[in-house]
């Protein structure tokens, strides 16, 4: 990742619908250079895809929660099976496998508190591997709109 790659990545994260020509012009490079650099970022796996950012309340998902889950027994097949369950549930936006007291954190988005309760009681708690869970309702979310590379230790 050099300065040009970083600038292209920042431009695409700001607005992935900008044309290659617009990005090249804003960076002062040739469109062919910009195109090849962008293709290289995709090929190297730095850019994993282009997606639309959505407004959850506009999709009738006004309530978000983080659900910390403990599962037992802690075997790879149980972890994999629970992750498959999480990936298949429309209420779950993302799941994280953790080290520590909790085994998973699920980011859930549903219509309202009644639907959150129903998901927890009717879906999650009925899983035989779920030993326990704690739920935190999200009031507000802030997240980075752009991600950049960090310097290696020692500045190199």
38 with 97, same domain: the answer is: no
Domain total of the chain: 2
Does a structural domain hold residue 143? no
Per-residue pLDDT tens over the stretch 127-148: 999 999 999 999 998 888 788 8
**Mean pLDDT taken over the chain:** 93
12 with 80, same domain: the answer is: no
Cα-to-chain-centroid distance, residue 64: 14
Helices (H), the chain: 3-14, 20-27, 31-43, 76-88, 113-118
Please give the Cα distance from 154 to 106 (Å, whole number): 35
Classify residue 137 by burial, with Cβ atoms within 10 Å: 0-12, 13-18, 19+: exposed
Neighbours of 5 (CB within 10 A): 16
Domain residue limits at 17: 3-43
Does a structural domain hold residue 125? yes
Does a structural domain hold residue 82? yes
83 with 126, same domain: the answer is: yes
Predicted TM-score (pTM) of this structure: 0.81
The per-residue DSSP string of 33-60 comes to: HHHHHHHHHHHTTSS--------GGGGT
Q: Which residue do the tokens 């508190």 mark?
A: 113
Does a structural domain hold residue 64? yes
Q: Read off the CATH number of the domain in which 107 is found.
A: 3.30.70.920
Residue 149's pLDDT band, with cuts at 50, 70 and 90, is confident
60 with 134, same domain: the answer is: yes
- φ and ψ of 133, to 5 deg: -155, 155
39 with 100, same domain: the answer is: no
**For the residues 50-58, what does the mean pLDDT come to?**
90
27 with 62, same domain: the answer is: no
């Amino acid at each position: 990742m050099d300065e040009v790659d970083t600038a292209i990545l920042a431009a695409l994260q700001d607005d992935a619908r900008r044309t290659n020509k617009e990005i090249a012009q804003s960076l002062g490079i040739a469109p062919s250079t910009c195109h090849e650099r962008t293709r290289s970022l995709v090929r190297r796996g730095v850019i994993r895809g282009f997606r639309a950012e959505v407004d959850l309340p506009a999709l009738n998902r006004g309530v978000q929660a983080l659900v910390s889950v403990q599962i037992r027994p802690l075997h790879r097949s149980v972890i994999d099976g629970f992750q498959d369950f999480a990936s298949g549930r429309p209420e779950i936006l993302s799941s994280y496998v953790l080290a520590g007291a909790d085994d998973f954190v699920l980011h859930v988005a549903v219509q309202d508190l009644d639907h959150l309760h129903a998901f927890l009681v009717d879906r999650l708690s009925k899983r035989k591997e779920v030993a326990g869970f704690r739920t935190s309702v999200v009031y507000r979310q802030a997240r980075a709109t752009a991600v950049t590379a960090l310097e290696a230790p020692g500045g190199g």
